Amino acid sequence: MGSPSASKVALALRVWSRYLLVRALLARRPLPDVVRRASQSPRRPRRAVSHARLSRAVNRCLRVGSRRPTCLVASLVLLRLLTEQGARAELVIGLPRAATTKDAHAWVELGGLDVGPPPGKGGHEPMARFG
């Protein structure tokens, strides 16, 4: 097993490579196709990293200064990373409980539990599930 810093670098590289994949797919495909691709189970699952650690890694790695990816992009990256480990995760899109606009929010759930990325569900009601 490598050093802790080597495993952090490896995880950061995985996050960024999945980010680039998700951005490329979103530019060319409709959302259901992107989710289907992100949810495809690998032939050989990767060694498991806790969903909490993956969620934190996505949140930290994709934040550059004050810039952050949209909740949809970050959620698709987390969905892909979890799926690569063999987890059956879902992308959830919802609206605030007392919605006054059509501004939606996305997060990932495992077995019905919100796993992020931060802020996760954050007071939103599920409207659609993919995965």
| Secondary element (H or E) of residue 77 | helix 71-84
Which pTM was predicted?
A: 0.92
pLDDT of 47-69, one tens digit each? 889 999 999 999 999 998 889 99
pLDDT at 2: 61
Question: Rounded CA gap, 115 and 58, in Å?
Answer: 12
Question: Rounded CA gap, 53 and 48, in Å?
Answer: 10
| 95-114: average pLDDT | 92
Beta pairing partners, 107: 92
